[in-house]
Every structure is written in structure tokens, then in C-alpha cells.
Structure 1
Amino acid sequence: MGLMIKIIEIHGREILDSRGNPTVEVEVTAQTETTGKKTTGRESVPSGASTGRFEAIELRDGQERYFGLGVQRVVDHINTKIRKELLGMNVLEQVQIDRKLVELDGTDNKGNLGANALLGVSLACARCAAAALDMPLYRYLGGPNAKKWPMPMMNVINGGAHAKNYLDFQEFMIVPVGAESFPDALRMGAEIYHFLKKILQKEGKLTAVGDEGGFAPDFSNAGEVFACLQRAVEEAGYKVGSDVAFAMDAAASELYSEEDGMYHFPGEAQTHAEVDVNLRRPDTQGGAYTSDAHVKTQETTEKKEILRSAQEMISLYEELTTEYPLISIEDGLDEDDWEGWQELTKRMKEQVMLVGDDLFVTNVKRIRCGMDLKVANAVLIKVNQIGTLTEAMDAIELAQKNGYKAIISHRSGETEDSFIADLAVAVNAGWIKTGAPCRGERTAKYNQLLRISETL
């Protein structure tokens, strides 16, 4: 019989996340049978703003308290139903714990107890187990083969659902691909971030930050953003392409309309209406990618509505990839446009990482479906999309065994918790998205990776 470290207490509470909204924090306490030693692990649950339709359900209380966003009902589930079932279990048996949680919920989408309830308990159990064994969390999760630091994909320009500006695409990232160590990668990213701020200030653009720490200025299109990032990289003393590459999260499901099957770009249309520019292809300064888009003049206003088909979206990405060192495109098309994704993958899989986020939602069933249809070549991993650590690690394993990249990701609503930093190292993911090198809930992950890198 193996070592028994029995769960003796589970306690959930309501705390605030980085957006000032309620979220769940869980403490799990376990006692080692042979020594009587007690250990506690604490974890908190993030929350997304741009969420996929197929994600596990995040339960909220509704009604007036916290504008309906309270999680007291979820906390009650943790402190009653879940606590009752898990007390006495061995905290080292992560798979059995997570299986029990899934069975206790009894739904495919975690809609009974809430994915936020299940995940808080699941992660806290892992944290508690690692502490009980006096092991770093990444080593407990990954074993002796956990040895690879992840390349940071730093979101330095925010748009879409993450910022109240005209930029329709959601995230624009710098990736310090030329770094030889994680400290070097972080330093490069931070330096470029500050040069970017100076450039924006010089041009009179807004330098307030969005949900993930990136700046949220008004650019009219992606070409303008990448041109600005290119300037920041060069002014920081690095070479575009060899030292630093770019990535983007299109969050195309947020732009897609089922009514007409088109992708709508209201911000791009607004900036065109305001500056009254001619539609043109991009030049070296970054132009407006609208020459191959549908442009519809509305009778009630002079503002032109800019629409793109799936084919036009793919053509846009091809142009951007030709013009700039763009190595990763996340959610390039709608989460249900499997046919479009097939065409996107066929045309671009050799040039860039085509990352499924809303497409896959860290769900093994949807990832398998995507593999069967030969769509995408990378999977974004967000633990709260699926609800338990075991299910998230199953998704990572499936991706890696089938030649898909796995990118560990934060959410726009985060906490000071650093679990995903350890997870990225534990599974040798090679890539992590955790925002700009700014704001405590983002730097908590980066600083943990600095600590871990000293031991690798």
C-alpha cells in the first residue's frame, strides 16, 4: 500500500479577480498518515471575457449582488457536496479525485456544480499534494522529465473583448524567439514593452492597458499594429524575425455573424469613417487591409460596414504572414467553421502555428474531432475551460502525441495564482500565454518561471 495523505478539510471562499469580479478560492488540507504532518494547498480560479460556446460552465449567482457575478452558490457546493465526498480520499490520487468531481457534477459541461467549483478543488489538491511531499509543483506534476522552460507569448496590444478601442482583433503578441534562457526572454519582452509605450506616447496614442496588461490604443487594423511592434523591437535593439517574432489572437468567433456567415469589423469601419481614408492594401507603414473585403455603405449613415468571408480572412492572414514575422494565429476562424478551418490549415499549416482555443476549449472530444478533420496544428490549454487538472493534462497529452503544439494559457480575468507557470514546465509545453510583462496577476506567472528556470 502506498503513502496515504488523507484529505481532512476543504474550504472555499469568494475572492476578487484582476477585473474586480468575484471568483473562487479553495484551500485543501491533508494529513500524512505516518507522521501526522498537516499540509494546505490553496488555489484560485480564473475567468475569461472572450469565452468559447463549448467551454465548461462557470456558475454565477445572478440577482443584484456583485451585478449577478457572485459565486456564493459555487462556494456552497464546495463546502458541502464536494467536501463531503472528498474527505478521507488520498490527496495524491489526482486522477481518482478528478473522476469523483466529474461524477459528482454529472453533466458534460460541468453545469451542475460549476467548472469553477471543480477546478478550484482539483488544483488545490495538486498544490497540497506537492507541498506534502516537499516537492516543487512542476516536479510533482511532471516528474523528472519536466525540464523545458516555455517561450512567452506576450500580449502587448489589446483589442476586441479585452479593450474598449476600435481594434477588432483581440491580441497582438511579441515572442522573443531568439532568447537563450527564460530570464533573457522576459528581459527582451519587458524592454520592448517599454519602448512600445514610448512610441505610443510620442504618437499621442492611449497607453492605458487592457485586461491582460497590453496597451489599448486605437489602431485601425492589424497591419498598423504589427508595423508599430516592428518599430518597438528595432528601437529596443533587437532584430525582427530572428530575435523577436509576432503572434495574434484573432478571436474570430467574436467577429462572426451566423445571420450572414460573415466576419464583421465594426472598429475598422469606424476608423475609416472618422479619418475618411481610401481603402488600400498595406504598405510598409501598415495600411488598411480592406481591399479584398466586402464594404457595404449603410443608408442611415456614412460609416461603411466592413465584412469578410472565411476565404478573405485566410487571405488577410496570408498577407500579414508575408509582411511580418507572424508565427502564430489563434482562433483565426469561427469555433464552428470546420470547413473554413480545413482550408486555413491546408494553406497555412507549414508557415505558422494555427491555434485552436474556442475551437477546442481544452476538450479531448473536440481536439480528436479536429485531428480527424485535419484542422489546426496547435491547441490552447486553459484549465478552466474543462474543469479539472486531469482533463486538461489529458488534452495536453493528446495534442503532443499527435504532433500538435500545446500552449498553456491564462485568462483575461486572473488572480495572483501561478499554477499555470508550473504546469507549462511540467508538461514541457514549450509555450505560455500569460499577458504583458505588467500587472501583478501576470507578473506572478513570469516571476514563478524565473524561479523555476534556476532549477532546470
Structure 2
Amino acid sequence: MEDKIVSVTAQQIIDCKCRPAVEVEVRTESGAIGRGAAPTGTSVGMHEAFVLRDGDKSTYGGLSVHKAVEKAEKVIGPALVGMNVFDQRAIDEKMIALDGTPDKKSLGGNTIYSVSIATFRAAADARRIPLYNHIAGGDVKTVPVPCFNVINGGKYEGFTQSFNEFLIVPYGTDSIDLSIEMAVTVFQKLGEVLTSHLGHKPQVASSYGYAAPSDDPEVLLGLMQQAIDACGYTGCIAFALDCASSEVYDAETRTYLLKSKRVTTDELIAYAKELTSKFDFVFIEDLLDENDWEGYIKANRELDRTLILGDDLTVTKLDYLKRAYETHAVSGFILKPNQVGTITEALDAYQFADSHGMIAVPSGRSGGVVDDVVMDFSVGLQVPFQKNGAPRSGERIEKLNFLMRANARSAGSRLYDIKPLLKF
């Protein structure tokens, strides 16, 4: 098939955290249109693709992206006009060559990725099919189990909860509709449990989950279990953690913050192992610092009741994934296409992981947009599970509706059965 790109236009929009983002629109000869905008994370690894912002403090505190908009229209656009929209690899490689830096610093990873999404969507539009069917090469048979970030860590008055995300994973059903209902019911019940525990309503945290009421992870998991049990879903909902430990790592002392104390890699691994003996975990993500490869190798060996996943460690880059596979550092990785900066590179990372028995877990970013392309990845690649955030706020709710719609429109589709992957 061939359908040539005729125009690339861009503008500044705002993401769900009201931070500027570059949005790109690609049009083709046949009249197909694709639109794309790169999300931005709150917890961002040092090895991720560069985000190009203006740095002018007088507008949006320096976060505006007018330079990125200009580069999309003046540099990338003219180079892509006339190219076949179906040749995603050639388009992405052309942009990588135009940029010429290892981390996309010249044109901006956010600029390149937004164009990459737009061309990907235009190709699907040219075929008049959903993008997830374009990715799958046909109909999909499964949709992923959504994972919900219900309690958020971070710095609070009087304490720091060093683990970033406490998640529930509603897996004990073959229905996506019921899976989502279970999570929403437990999330609402957890609000009551926390109110009773605190003596007042819990705060809404920055990622829209409940603010952690304690610096002790075990206390939080106990409250979450209480909510699950009260809803009658015992044995149907398991846990997951995103520790984001690079955020609390001190390179000088080589220690981590845990329950107001500094602990070593070995102590943190031992603590995580203890948690997994008391609670059922599907996965633990970013348990250690993004450069602590030796620690990950040990953790992956010793934590035998959960999957160990990399995010800041692997940043959706093929060379990092190859190293992780060869050293047995993790069982899988968090798939965030904007970390690497093009659709092609993200798909290459996925294909490597999939062919080497590693799990890929697509995830949105905290600074996302309503129509996040990561949902098409999740459904089109037919992965076991994905990260969704808390069931609160528009762009997160839309992700859940996306899964229910995709499932309803795909004959014979069902929720992915993750039981064979569970280690507990």
C-alpha cells in the first residue's frame, strides 16, 4: 500500500497536568489524518529521550514548546512530505537521522515522538481501521488486565512514603467490564477504609490516587487488603508496586530511604521479599536505582513470588533491554514509547522482549492526554496487563472505556488470563 504524506502541522496544547505539549497533525494524499502528542512523566529516568521546552520563564514557567512546534513544521515536515505513510520505519529513521543525537536533543524526543504517533495514526486512518487492529495485523483476541494506582507515595507533611505507586490488579475474571467494576468498587471502598483509619477524608494525591497515610508500605497494603476483602473480592485482586527508587536513592552513601531510615540495596531487597511473603504481588517495578544493575540481578534471583520489572532501568531502549535479558536483571519492562522517542524503536523493544520471554507492560505517563497511543499498543500487541493510573480523572477513565470498547468491538475477545504468569 502507498499513501503519501502531504502535510505536517503542529501546535502547542496542554496535557492533563496543564503543562504544554506539542501536538502534530499529519495528512495524506487519500485524505487520511493522524494526530499525536507526546506525554510527559513525573518520575523521569535519566536515560529517557530529551524533552525540548522553550525555557522562557515568563510563559508556563519555562515549559512552553513553541521551539518543538517550529521544528516539527519547519524541519521535520518538509523532510517527510512525499514519504509513504505506511513505511513507519523509514519515517522514524528519517527523523532520527535529521536529529543526529543519541537522545534526540536537537529536535526533541517529544517533537519526534508526536510526529511518529501522528503518522502511525494516519496509516490506520488510511485503512479506515482502529490503530490497534493496524498494530495487530487483524482482529484482537484479548484485552489486557488493567492495573490501578490507588495509593500514591511521595513527600507528605511529617513523613515520606518512599514507594511511589501502590496498585491493585483485578485478574480473577475473564471479563474486562467486571475487572474494571471490581477495581472501581475497591477504590471507592478504600476511600471509606482510609477515612476510618485517618479520622477524616483522605487527600487526593498528585497522580489522582489517595495520598499515602503512612510511611510504612505494609500499613498501606493492609488497608488495601481490607478494602478488597470488604468488597468480597479476596483472591480475585492482587497487588503491584512501582517503587520509583531512583527518586529516593543517595549515590554517595548508596542507600535508599525506607520508613524514615536509610537502607542498603540488600536490605531493600530483603524488605521487598518479606512483603511478597505476606501479600500477593503480580509485579514490583523499579525496586532499585536506575543504575543498580547488580542489585537488580540479585533481586530478580531472590524475589521468587513476584515479577521484577524495569522502567527507569530499561527506558524502552533495545540496548538496555538486551543487557537486562543477558544478565537476568528483570522479568520484563514497562513499555513507555515516549521514553525512546519513536513508534519503531518502541516496537523493536517490544519484539525483542516478546521473543525472549520478557513481559512488556504498556503504561501511560502522569502528564498524559486523553487519546494516549499507549492504549492502542496495549490492545494491538495483546499484552497480559497494563498500567492505568487511578480510576479518577478524565484521561484515566477514557483508558478504561477504550478497553471496554475495543473488547466489545472485537468478536470473541476476552480479558487476558494472567494466571499462568503469576508467581504467588
Rounded Cα–Cα distance in structure 1 between residues aligned with 2:157 and 2:111? 28
How has the CA–CA distance of structure 1 residues 15 and 162 changed in structure 2, closer, same or farther, with 3 Å as cutoff? farther
Q: What SS does the corresponding residue of 2:53 show, helix, strand or coil? A: coil
* 1:146-181 superposed Cα distances (whole Å, 9 cap, x missing partner): 422111111000113799973211000000010211
Does structure 2 retain, via aligned residues, the 8 Å contact 1:330–1:357?
Answer: yes
Q: What SS does the corresponding residue of 1:170 show, helix, strand or coil? A: strand
How has the CA–CA distance of structure 1 residues 49 and 165 changed in structure 2, closer, same or farther, with 3 Å as cutoff? farther
Does structure 1 retain, via aligned residues, the 8 Å contact 2:364–2:372?
Answer: no
* 1:341-372 superposed Cα distances (whole Å, 9 cap, x missing partner): 11111111x32110100000000001101111
Structure 2: tracts of 5 or more residues without a match: 414-424
Rounded Cα–Cα distance in structure 2 between residues aligned with 1:163 and 1:441? 28
2:15 alignment partner in structure 1: 17
Q: 2:93 aligns with which of 89, 93, 99?
A: 99
Does 1:55 pair with 2:48? yes
Does structure 2 retain, via aligned residues, the 8 Å contact 1:153–1:173?
Answer: yes
Does structure 2 retain, via aligned residues, the 8 Å contact 1:165–1:216?
Answer: no
Rounded Cα–Cα distance in structure 1 between residues aligned with 2:371 and 2:130? 15
TM-score calculated relative to the size of structure 2: 0.93
Rounded Cα–Cα distance in structure 1 between residues aligned with 2:99 and 2:205? 34
How has the CA–CA distance of structure 1 residues 57 and 396 changed in structure 2, closer, same or farther, with 3 Å as cutoff? same
Alignment RMSD: 1.6
User: Which of these two proteins has the greater Rg computed from alpha carbons?
Assistant: 1
Shift of residue 252, structure 1, vs aligned partner? 0.8
1:26 alignment partner in structure 2: 24
2:130 alignment partner in structure 1: 136
Q: 2:299 aligns with which of 344, 348, 371?
A: 344
Segments ≥4 residues shifted beyond 6 Å: 161-165
1:243 alignment partner in structure 2: 236
Rounded Cα–Cα distance in structure 2 between residues aligned with 1:216 and 1:25? 32
Q: What SS does the corresponding residue of 1:169 show, helix, strand or coil? A: strand
How has the CA–CA distance of structure 1 residues 161 and 56 changed in structure 2, closer, same or farther, with 3 Å as cutoff? farther
Structure 1: tracts of 5 or more residues without a match: 33-37, 270-305
User: Residue 4 of structure 2 aligns to which amino acid in structure 1?
Assistant: K
Q: What SS does the corresponding residue of 1:415 show, helix, strand or coil? A: coil
User: Residue 177 of structure 1 aligns to which amino acid in structure 2?
Assistant: Y
User: Residue 226 of structure 1 aligns to which amino acid in structure 2?
Assistant: L
Shift of residue 326, structure 1, vs aligned partner? 1.6
User: Residue 119 of structure 1 aligns to which amino acid in structure 2?
Assistant: Y
Q: 1:358 aligns with which of 284, 297, 312?
A: 312
Does structure 2 retain, via aligned residues, the 8 Å contact 1:162–1:210?
Answer: no
Rounded Cα–Cα distance in structure 1 between residues aligned with 2:3 and 2:156? 42
Shift of residue 426, structure 1, vs aligned partner? 1.1
Rounded Cα–Cα distance in structure 2 between residues aligned with 1:374 and 1:327? 18
1:298 alignment partner in structure 2: none
Does 1:170 pair with 2:159? no
Rounded Cα–Cα distance in structure 1 between residues aligned with 2:224 and 2:305? 20
Rounded Cα–Cα distance in structure 2 between residues aligned with 1:160 and 1:55? 22
TM-score calculated relative to the size of structure 1: 0.87
Indicate the percent of aligned positions where both proteins have the same amino acid: 36
Does structure 1 retain, via aligned residues, the 8 Å contact 2:277–2:305?
Answer: no
How has the CA–CA distance of structure 1 residues 391 and 74 changed in structure 2, closer, same or farther, with 3 Å as cutoff? same
Q: What SS does the corresponding residue of 2:79 show, helix, strand or coil? A: helix
Q: 1:260 aligns with which of 253, 259, 263?
A: 253
